[in-house]
Structure 1
Amino acid sequence: MQNESSWNIELTGLDYAEWRRKLEAIGESVGFFEPLGSKHHALFHEDGDTLLVSFESFPGIGALSDDARPLGLEIAEANSWSLLSLVSRNDTWFRDGEVYGFFDQLTDDGFFDDFERVVFYGAGPCGYAAAAYSVSAPGAIVVALQPQATLDPRITEWDDRFTEQRRMQFTDRYGYAPDMIDGAEQGYIIYDSREPLDAMHAALFHRRNVTRFRVPFLGTALQAALLEMGILTQIVTEAAEGRLTTQSFAQAMRARREYGPYLRKLLARLEHEERLELVRILCTFVTDRKTAPRFRRRLRALRKLEDGMSDDADAEALDGDEAETAR
């Protein structure tokens, strides 16, 4: 990525105001920086002819990035893409007139027309924003992790996670994300199908141009899981290049076999369902490949149980033989 040295500034340990001031200095040297009121900003880093439009929150960046740089920068750098990074001070779903106006201006200026490909990316509330604002760049690619479709209680009254945010306006411009994604060339919605509320939102994105990928047992922190497995950049890259298919996604998700949180959730589910043979197979698979005390203890307990059952069966058979002899 051109002007990469501009990012060699210490960003960790800063409050939002100071962090944003440093981002402004970076933006002025690599492209532009646009404050969008007190809660949002946009930073453009010009590089290749593919543009990644990423939506993130300041707390999310702090939790996921060791160097406090936007996650979108990591994905863009890996591919020599240009980056338009939208950041919110907290979870706002980017529902703000300043943000509306910014995307209106980009559209009027033909900003997106300067790129061969445009990719919108975000997770959770930021996934909502990625889908909603993709309407400003018809023909774009959208990758959204466990996005909300809307918080309008008339549609999603069943989602009790964000009751305070229902006061936000989701019925005006850039409002209902599943409708806004209609203009995209292709949308990809990735979610844990065993998380009921995330799955219900994902169902609202049923569209001709949307592919939904289910990733059970990865939980509600899906972005963090894909990062820890080292496959998030790969997924976004394949989506941008038109190479993300059911088969390629399944191949990427094979990384779950080495991912502890996934394996532990799968074990807990199998134990809850009392599927002991599958528990034994899973524990054997895991302990053959890595140090996993929890799985090793469970496998040992299963083997003791099986040995005990075998001893009981032998004793019953012996009792039967003795009874037959007595006759």
Structure 2
Amino acid sequence: MRDELSDVDGPFEGPGLDGWMEEPSDVYLPEGEVHSLGDKHSCMFSRRGDTLLVSFEIAQDLTPASEMPQPNIRAFAEAKDWSHLAVVSLGNTWFRDQSVFALFDHLTDAGLFDDFEQILFYGSGSCGYAAAVFSVAAPGATVLAIQPQATLDPRLCGWDTRFRAARRISFTDRYGFAPDMLDAAAQAFVLYDPSERPDAIHAAMMARQNVTLLRMPNMGGTLEQNLQQMNILEPLLELAATGELTANAFYRLYRARRDNIDYLLRLLARLNRENRHYLKYLLCRDTIARMPRRRRVKRFRRQMARLKTAMENREILLPYSATR
């Protein structure tokens, strides 16, 4: 999707889908090019293997606007020889649009989802919400949702003040309440940082028998980028699509956080706030020993120097075994 949509800053261009939606028995979805779904949404479908990845993305997120790595879902699907349906929004819309509803209605009526052995719905944030709610169109699918919202209906989520503009969007009509929509999934995985309180509450709202909540403490609010940075997003997608993703499999991959400097800095900040001097000393010593030449390790060196000074002045006391 990056090549086709990276420069989008206005309504999506491309053939509309009104015509083929009228005759679902004749065609599922035109392949290989971007198709508009009104002014704020677009989609593209590529048919390859028996695994279908349905991804939800925001057009602005497809450009490398920051130093954080951006997932290229289309390239990943091509490399795995997966079929791919990408639904893209222009800005944060939560995909609450009748044209998007009509797309999934059409694909259900046309039987597209019956053609595939495995189906994975994927998204992050508002796209994670969309992955959860539209998965109901393909019962038995797997869902991988990162930091999804359960709903932004102010009657239920007035406590979530991050998206005030979204309160004008209706979350009470079709494809509305994500936890209920997940009932049709074979299994769903929700990734969140429990220290990010709104994300944790939304994740708790989505707890169901078929939903596995995967905690990522001290990772902050950019989990998709962090997973990409640690090179574990694509292995997660592959495990989820093949039915091999479990909590144990996830946490084995998640050990990569031990070499992620952003995670270690957030952990250091938390230990500072909590005055956990012993654990802070161990963290600094281990990080310096394992990553002596990493650019931001100097922060750990400064912390270590302050700890040693405080110990010499007997301002803090650490177990002798920690300092050997």
Q: Which bracket does the TM-score occupy, shorter chain normalised?
A: 0.7 to 0.9
Give the Å deviation of 1:131: 0.2
Measure the CA separation in 1 of the matches of 2:105 and 2:10.
26
Cα 1:217–1:141 shift into 2, 3 Å: same
Q: Does 1:44 align with 2:45?
A: yes
* Unaligned ranges ≥5, structure 2: 18-28, 318-324
Q: Does 1:215 align with 2:216?
A: yes
Measure the CA separation in 1 of the matches of 2:281 and 2:215.
25
Measure the CA separation in 2 of the matches of 1:52 and 1:184.
14
Measure the CA separation in 2 of the matches of 1:65 and 1:271.
28
For normalisation by structure 1, the TM-score amounts to 0.85
Work out whether residues 11 and 69 of structure 1, in 8 Å CA contact, stay in contact via their aligned partners in 2.
Answer: no
Work out whether residues 52 and 72 of structure 1, in 8 Å CA contact, stay in contact via their aligned partners in 2.
Answer: no
Give the Å deviation of 1:33: 3.7
Work out whether residues 70 and 228 of structure 2, in 8 Å CA contact, stay in contact via their aligned partners in 1.
Answer: no
Give the Å deviation of 1:152: 0.5
* Unaligned ranges ≥5, structure 1: 1-6, 313-327
Give the Å deviation of 1:62: 1.7
Give the Å deviation of 1:15: 3.4
Cα 1:137–1:259 shift into 2, 3 Å: same
Q: 1:307 aligns with which of 296, 312, 315?
A: 312
Give the Å deviation of 1:85: 0.3
Measure the CA separation in 2 of the matches of 1:132 and 1:180.
5
Give the Å deviation of 1:125: 0.4
Tell me which residue corresponds to 2:8: 15
For normalisation by structure 2, the TM-score amounts to 0.86
Query: Over the residues paired in the alignment, what is the CA RMSD in angstroms?
Result: 2.7
Tell me which residue corresponds to 2:142: 141
Rg (Cα) greater in structure:
1
Q: Does 1:293 align with 2:298?
A: yes
Work out whether residues 128 and 149 of structure 1, in 8 Å CA contact, stay in contact via their aligned partners in 2.
Answer: yes
Work out whether residues 149 and 202 of structure 2, in 8 Å CA contact, stay in contact via their aligned partners in 1.
Answer: yes
Offset from partner CA, 1:103-158 (integer Å, 9 cap, x none): 00000000000111110000000000000000000000000000000010111111
Calculate percent identity across the aligned residue pairs: 46
Tell me which residue corresponds to 2:260: 259
Matches within 5 A, 1:1-327: 14-17=7-10, 20=13, 31=32, 33-63=34-64, 71-290=72-291, 291=293, 292-309=297-314
Bigger proportion of residues as helix? 1
1:295 aligned partner, one-letter code: F
Cα 1:310–1:165 shift into 2, 3 Å: closer
Give the Å deviation of 1:69: 9.2
Measure the CA separation in 2 of the matches of 1:262 and 1:219.
8
- Residues 196-205 or 68-77, more deviating: 68-77
